Amino acid sequence: MTTTSIHGMWSSRLAFVLAATGSAVGLGNIWRFPYTAGEYGGGAFVIVYILCVAAIGIPIMMAEIMLGRRGRQSPINTMRTLAEREGASPLWQLLGWMGILSGFLILSFYSVIAGWTLAYVMRAAGGLFTGIDAAGSEAVFSALVGDAERLLAWHTIFMVITVIVVARGVAGGLEKAVRVLMPALFLLLIIMVLYAAQAGDFASGAAYLFQPDFRELRDNAGEAILSAMGQAFFSLSLGMGAIMIYGSYLNSQDSIMQNTIIIAVMDTLVAVLAGLAIFPIVFANGLEPGSGPGLIFQTLPIAFGQMPLGQFFGSVFFVLLVFAAWTSAISLLEPLVAWLVENRGFSRVRAAILGGVAVWLLGIACLLSLNEWSGFKVFGMGILDLFDYVTANVLLPLGGVLIAVFAGWVLSRSASAAELRIASEGLYQVWLVLIRFIAPLAVILVFAHAIGIF
Ligand code: PFF
């Protein structure tokens, strides 16, 4: 069996943890988590979200890393090889294909939102937010989102920087960048929370996030629970092969369980900190927590506009957010690029450019859906919202169920035990129960509930 990947290996266990955390922590935590929690009323959503991370996300992340490390190839070929070895159907490689599709759709809109972040670096640095109020901030946001050419420019820049890193190989520059940037993002979020605690309506913000009011869920429980679960998959980068391919570059000796727990805890912490930085400002300024995808872009500028050194903190914050998005975007493109290298004999550079151009084109449709094509709706959603909804709430959880079924039922127990090498037999049993029964059943029940089966 191969013990290394042809695409390279992480230089250390820390490098893997940093890269996987870099993949997990991104716009999903700071942009998507607060606005989705806001749309579903806060506390109860947050509890369901955390339950999903613990009972579904952690076991599936372990499974993804485990499968990746056992296969040591792109998700498509990993699934093909592992299925073959277990005497299972070659159709399992469709799981890899579905992941490529998900990554494609996610990156196309992710890059557009990352473009907003780039634009906000400029606005913050230029002092545009100084003394801004809620109406002013809203106007700045609408002006950006309504301007297709500007969005196209930022989307293009973001895709170019993503392609550059992927072309050079993820193990190279990524490790070094994440080592500095992750702690910096953490620190700045803590500064933002401290500011929100002092200048915002912290009591209301914290209560909103942590005091579950389950009546909130009652009107729309199916959708809310589905979205909390979808958010868990999206935020942890699960269900599409991103974590699988990162696992394929991990040393055989490293502990999968320990690493997974670190990644999941960091990811959740960043999301909660983002919520604590944003909601006190939302309430202090009479804004609407459920106002949708513009939430952080409409609230944080107000805080930066008032706080001491706000111009500095504002620009640094958006720069760090760009980096967080960048390290996630890289992992969205990597499975496709690895496959092009393995099966089509492309050089990494050519593969990255080809994948990047295809995603870039689809991204144009996403950004146009915010302005020129705003009248065009599918199921009541524009293209960007549709891609966001379908990937997070349908494709990723579906990919997750298939990963769980493969890891729990198709892969032999001796193989999973040998790969996970959990010291305590009891803990291995817990994982096995979670991956065989709890995670797949939970996802299926949530789907069934959301489409109104019960
Ligand atoms: N986890 C990333 C975020 O929270 O921003 C987004 C993401 C990356 C989703 C990679 C899925 C993925 F495979």
Q: Over the stretch 400-428, which tens digit does the pLDDT of each residue have?
A: 999 999 999 999 999 999 999 999 999 99
Q: What is the pLDDT of residue 214?
A: 82
Asked whether 332 lines ligand 1 (CB < 6 A), one says yes
From the CB of 24, is ligand 1 less than 6 Å away?
A: yes
Q: Tell me the CA–centroid distance for residue 234 and ligand 1, in Å.
A: 5
Atom 11 (ligand 1): residue with closest C-alpha? Answer: 237
Q: Pocket of ligand 1, candidates 178, 229, 328, 390: which has the most ligand atoms within 8 Å of its Cβ, to mutate?
A: 328
The predicted pLDDT at position 454 comes to 80
Cβ-in-10-Å burial (0-12, 13-18, 19+) of 356 comes to: buried
Nearest by Cα to 100 from 342, 271, 323, 321: 342
Low-confidence ranges of the chain (pLDDT < 50): none
Q: Which of 237, 266, 327, 403 to mutate to test the pocket of ligand 1 (most atoms within 8 A of CB)?
A: 237
Query: Is residue 57 within 8 Å of 260, Cβ to Cβ?
Result: no
Backbone angles phi, psi at 423, to 5 degrees: -60, -40
The pLDDT assigned to 30 comes to 96
Q: Does any ligand 1 atom lie closer than 6 A to the CB of residue 235?
A: yes
Tokens, residue 264: 């999941």
CB 26 within 8 A of CB 328: yes
Cα→Cα distances 144→291, 302, 342, Å: 17, 16, 40
Answer whether 22 contacts ligand 1 (Cβ < 6 A).
no
Secondary structure (H, E, C), 143-161: HHHCCHHHHHHHHHHHHHH
Angle at 136 between CA 130 and CA 139, to 5 degrees: 130
Nearest to 280 by CA among 197, 344, 355: 197
Task: Catalogue the long-range contacts made by 138-146 (C-beta closer than 8 Å, 24 or more residues apart).
Answer: 138/294, 138/298, 140/301, 141/294, 141/297, 141/298, 144/116, 144/119, 144/297, 145/116, 145/294, 145/370, 145/371, 146/370, 146/371
pLDDT, residue 220, reads 85
Cα dihedral value 84, 86, 89, 95, nearest 10: -80
Query: Residue 426's pLDDT is what?
Result: 97
Top mutation candidate among 95, 106, 185, 394 for ligand 1, by most atoms within 8 Å of CB: 106
Does the C-beta of 30 come closer than 6 Å to ligand 1? no
Note the pLDDT tens digit of each residue in 126-158.
999 999 999 999 999 999 999 999 999 999 999
pLDDT of residue 348: 94
Ligand 1 proximity of 239 Cβ (cutoff 6 Å): no
- The verdict on the CB of residue 233 being under 6 Å from ligand 1 is no
pLDDT of residue 452: 85
The residues near 7 (Cβ < 8 Å, ≥ 6 apart) are 169, 170, 171, 248, 249, 338, 341, 348
| 143: number of Cβ within 10 Å | 10
Can you give the pLDDT at residue 330?
94
Q: Give 378's strand partners.
A: 381
Q: What is the DSSP string of 214-226?
A: THHHHHTHHHHHH
Residue closest via CA to ligand 1's atom 9 equals 237
Which pTM does this prediction carry?
0.97
pLDDT tens per residue, range 83-102: 999 999 999 999 999 999 99
**Cα-to-centroid distance, 286 and ligand 1 (Å):** 31
Question: Residue 52 is encoded by which pair of tokens?
Answer: 């999903």
Rounded to the nearest angstrom, the distance between the alpha carbon of 368 and the centre of ligand 1 is: 22
Report pLDDT for 180: 82
